[in-house]
Structures are given as C-alpha cells and as structure tokens.
Amino acid sequence: MFKWKIYTYSNINGKENTFEKEFDNINEYNNFVKNNSQFLWLSNWWALSFDSIFDFNNYLDNFFDSKMLLTNNNNDNFKEKPKQLEWINLSKYEEELSKLESEKREKQERKSMLEKSLEKLKDYLEKFKKEKKEDIVKEIEKDIKKVEEDLSKIEN
C-alpha cells in the first residue's frame, strides 16, 4: 500500500502560501513530482535516508527483528548484529544493474516487434503473390530482408 502527502508552507513578507496534496497511487505521485520542478528532489524520497534499496530492506529486516526481540525473553536473541560497511556503495551497482536490465528489456521488446512485423510481412507477401502484384511483392521482399538482418543483429 502506498500513502504519501506533500505539504509546503512559506511566509514571505507576511504573505502565507500553503500547498497540500495526498497520494494513494505511486504512479500518480511519480508523475506529479516529475511534472513539478519544485518537488523534483522528492523523486527519490527513499534515497534520502538510505544509500540503496538494500539498506532500506536491511532497515526493515532489523526493524522487524528488533520488534520480535522485545517479545522474546531469550538472551541469545540480544546478540549485537554486524554493522553495514560504510565504504561499500551499493547504489552504484544497483544503478548499473538497472541499466543492464533496461537494455535487455528494450532489446527483447525490439526483437518481439521485429518478429511480429516479419510475420505480418510474410502474410502480406503471400496475399500479394496470389493477386500477382509484383511491384508490391518486391517491396515486401526487401522489407523482409531488412527485418531479418535486424533480427540477426539482435540475436548476436
């Protein structure tokens, strides 16, 4: 569940300005932040306190573990947990991984689009051959060749 509220207040020379907006949908929130430059710094709100999403996940794990510890009287559970290493910047690797995944996704989308286009072109080719439309058949054959070349580049 996502729930977020943006609130601003300013008092310049006695002129008060307030702004308040609530969000229940993360996509609406992201769109609002992207379209309003004064709130752009909020686009990575989770990064304000944490170096990476892994730090955030680790925080949540520790939070829930500590709540469980309060209900359990066993002293073995109160062992100190190792601290995070300050010299490791996980966000750099996360960004690179995100770029790689994005490139793979774009490549797969392009491949899928080319495959669908190739199917349609071959279908059109058969139909125009039956109608003896040689000029269009030649154009379709050229386009089929181009699509097949692009597909071979993507697969390699």
pLDDT, tens digit, for every residue of 15-34? Answer: 888 888 888 887 888 888 88
98-128: pLDDT as tens digits: 999 999 999 999 999 999 999 999 999 999 9
For residues 70 and 130, give the distance between their C-alpha atoms in angstroms, rounded to a whole number.
79
